[in-house]
């Protein structure tokens, strides 16, 4: 397992040994609880134990490279609300013989987004895993695992706050086919290497502070939270982020010139909303666009 841990780390997936161990328990016993899994493993032959280790290696590699990185555009566990989401994703993939169809991927998108906003596996880990494993054993459909969540529909209030990991998961999925935010020939965000992916604030901090100083700001929202508001966040390449630096959106968005590129990031096309004094209206409109695109994608 130590060798697998090193291999995953080289691929950008520096997951904990706990994730690897529980994935092994899932594949070898179908049981996420250590005590119950131990009882089953004590009666297994060394050959079956080694066979399960090999299946775990194949499954985790398939999930992090093909499913999460390539299909969903999530290239690192730091973009996941809980790294234990990898365990259930891996068990689902294993049950599907590591051959997920486009329909499976779409169901996985919805579950991953909703599970992230529900804080799945951030509290009662073993109970949550056991509930979800039982449903997967019954149905082989991760779309049906959604019923185990407290909230099973997209909530607008989720997108009216400073961003967290669940927002990054969602943005990366939404922006997979968006173009890098620059003028001229542009690569898609999903084609960026994991080391090139960066978070970009559409309005720089200087403008948000100016807005707060001149207008009094946004009710119930501190200036730092307003700057880190999920509606002020997008994903672009490291090089483009460096070139934009502290430029105002009225400058760099106009320099891009291509409405399709701007629209692919769900940034409002109304140039009046790019001005510093319209920051609150910009947030509201982009929040609306994000929610609409997400609901279209998932529903």
Partners of 162 in the beta sheet? 229
Q: In the 8-state DSSP scheme, what is residue 162?
A: B
Through-space distance between the first and last CA atoms of the chain, rounded to whole angstroms: 38
Confidence (pLDDT) at 30: 86
User: Residue 14 has what pLDDT?
Assistant: 87
Residue with tokens 């119930």: 220
Which pairs from 248-255 meet CB under 8 Å and 24+ separation? 248/203, 248/204, 248/207, 248/274, 248/276, 249/202, 249/203, 249/207, 249/274, 250/274, 250/275, 252/181, 255/183
The reported pLDDT for the residue numbered 52 is 84
| Residue among 113, 140, 22 nearest 299 (CA) | 113
Mean pLDDT of 202-230: 96
Give the pLDDT band of residue 203 (cuts 50, 70, 90).
very high
Mean pLDDT of the chain: 93
Backbone angles phi, psi at 257, to 5 degrees: 80, -30
103-124 pLDDT tens trace: 999 999 999 999 999 999 998 9
For residue 105 the two structure tokens come to 């991927």
Query: What per-residue confidence (pLDDT) applies to 1?
Result: 62
H or E, element range at 228 = none
Per-residue pLDDT reduced to its tens digit, 136-164: 999 999 999 999 999 999 999 999 999 99
Asked if residue 180 has pLDDT above 90, the reply is yes
Q: What is the pLDDT of residue 2?
A: 62
The DSSP element (H or E) to which 233 belongs, if any, is: strand 233-237
- Cα 12 vs. chain centroid, distance in angstroms? 15
Q: What is the pLDDT of residue 12?
A: 80
Range 42-59 average pLDDT: 83
Look at residues 21, 47, 45 and name the one whose alpha carbon lies nearest to residue 33: 21
């Amino acid at each position: 397992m130590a060798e697998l841990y090193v291999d995953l780390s080289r691929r950008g997936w520096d997951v904990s040994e706990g994730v690897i161990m529980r994935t092994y328990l899932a594949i070898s016993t179908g049981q996420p609880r250590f005590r119950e899994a131990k009882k089953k493993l004590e009666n297994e032959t060394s050959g079956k134990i080694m066979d399960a280790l090999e299946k775990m290696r194949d499954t985790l590699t398939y999930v992090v490279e093909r499913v999460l990185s390539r299909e969903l555009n999530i290239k690192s566990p730091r973009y996941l609300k809980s790294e234990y989401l990898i365990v259930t994703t891996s068990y689902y993939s294993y049950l599907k013989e590591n051959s997920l169809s486009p329909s499976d991927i779409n169901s996985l998108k919805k579950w991953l987004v909703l599970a992230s906003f529900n804080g799945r596996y951030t509290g009662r880990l073993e109970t949550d895993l056991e509930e979800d494993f039982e449903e997967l054993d019954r149905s082989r459909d991760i779309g049906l695992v959604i019923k185990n969540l407290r909230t099973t529909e997209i909530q607008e209030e989720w997108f009216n706050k400073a961003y967290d990991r669940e927002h990054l998961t969602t943005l990366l999925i939404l922006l997979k086919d968006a173009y890098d935010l620059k003028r001229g020939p542009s690569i898609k965000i999903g084609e960026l290497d994991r080391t090139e992916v960066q978070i970009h604030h559409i309005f720089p901090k200087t403008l948000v502070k100016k807005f707060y100083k001149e207008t009094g700001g946004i009710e119930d929202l501190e200036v730092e939270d307003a700057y880190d508001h999920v509606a002020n966040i997008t994903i672009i390449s490291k090089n483009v982020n460096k070139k934009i630096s502290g430029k105002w959106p009225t400058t760099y968005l106009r320099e891009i010139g291509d409405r399709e590129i701007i629209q692919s990031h769900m940034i409002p096309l109304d140039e009046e909303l790019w001005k510093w004094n319209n920051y609150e209206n910009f947030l509201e409109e982009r929040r609306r666009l994000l929610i609409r695109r997400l609901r279209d994608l998932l529903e």
